[in-house]
Amino acid sequence: MKKAITITFLSALLILSSTFVNTFKAEAAFNPQQVIAEAKKLIGTRYKFGGTTPKGFDCSGFVYYTHKKVGKILPRSSAQMYKKGKSVHKSKLLPGDLVFFSTYKKGASHVAIYIGKNQIIHATSNGVKIDSLNNPYWKSKFIGAKRI
């Protein structure tokens, strides 16, 4: 009886430790360049309010989808995403950082992925596209960036 309990306990311990190791490996394996590659495949995808699939995206649905494709789960809305990660100054942006804007309401109401060279990729009313952070509209609406 004692041997059966010990084997059961060790089996359970092995399963639990494997779960923690796999979770750690998934987080450690996150690669922003993979997110950017997934995002670029979707250029031209139409805009759809509340959209989270290649049939149509809104801004946060696009960011959520591209990250999920590479194993990183983010919150669903721009405002919730803005609460995650480490704040990054605009001058210190790295590819893969999330960039936030206040557009139609106060606070983070739009999110994009920074791809380098002062460019972002995001879902807009004109579909998924690349824009410059120097674009007067986006420059005036910028509120912050996060590294996840």
Task: Convert the pLDDT of each residue in 63-109 to its tens digit.
Answer: 999 999 999 999 999 999 999 999 999 999 999 999 999 998 899 99
* 9 pLDDT tier (thresholds 50, 70, 90): very low
Q: What is the mean pLDDT of the chain?
A: 87
Report the alpha-carbon distance of residue 86 to residue 137 in Å, rounded. 25
Domain 31-147 in CATH 3.40.50.720: no
| Percent of the chain whose pLDDT exceeds 70 | 80
Whether residue 24 has pLDDT greater than 80 = no
Question: How many secondary structure helices (H) and strands (E) does the chain include?
Answer: 5, 8
pLDDT in tens, 38-64: 999 999 999 999 999 999 999 999 999
Q: Which residues are catalytic?
A: 59, 110, 122
Residue 98 near residue 148 (C-beta atoms within 8 A): yes
| Residue range 104-120: mean pLDDT, rounded | 96
Q: Where exactly are the structural domains of the chain?
A: 1-29, 31-147
